[in-house]
A and B are shown apart, each in its own frame.
Chain A
Amino acid sequence: MSLLLVAPIVIPLATAALGLVVRGPRAHLGLSLVGGAALLASTLALLGQVLRGGTRATQLGTWPAPFGITLVADLLAAVMLAVSSLIGLVILVYSVETIDAERRAHGYYPLLHVLLMGVCGAFLAGDLFNLYVWFEVMLIASFVLLSLGGERAQLEGSVKYVTLNLLASLMFLSAVGLLYGLAGTLNMADLAVKLREAPRPGLLLAPGMLLLGAFGIKAAAFPVFSWLPPAYHTPPIAVSALFSGLLTKVGVYALLRAFTLLFVQDVGFTHGLLAWVAGLTMLTGVLGAAAQMEFRRLLAFHIISQIGYMLMGLALLSAGGLAGAVLYVVHNILAKTNLFLVSGMAARVSGTYDLKALGGLYRSRPLLSVLFLVPAFALAGMPPLSGFFAKLTLVRAGLEQERYVLVGTAVTVSLLTLFSMTKVWSEAFWKEPPEQPAPSGRLPLSLVVPSATLALLTCLLGLFADEALAVGTRLAEELLSHQAYVAAVMGARP
Chain B
Amino acid sequence: MVRSLHVMIMYVLCHLGLIFFMFPADIIASTEQGHWFPILIGIIVHFVCLLTYMKGLSFFPTKDILSIFSKSKKGVTFLFFAPILLYLIMAIIITVRAYAEIVTLVFLSHTPLWTIILLLLSVSAYISYKGIEAILRAAFLLFILFFPILLFVLIMSFQNVDWRYAIPFDTDLGFISKPAYFESYFAFAGGFLFLGFVQPFFSYERKNVILSAIFLIPFFLFSVYIPILTLGQASASKAFLPFVLIVDSINIDWLMFDRVTMFFLLSLIAFIILYLSLSLWKAIRIINYYIPKSRPSYLLFGLSVAIFFVCFWIPDWKDVENILFMNSFLRSYVLIVVPLFIYYIGRRLKRKDTNETI
* A and B interact physically: no
Instruction: Name A residues whose Cβ lies closer than 8 Å to a Cβ of B.
Output: none
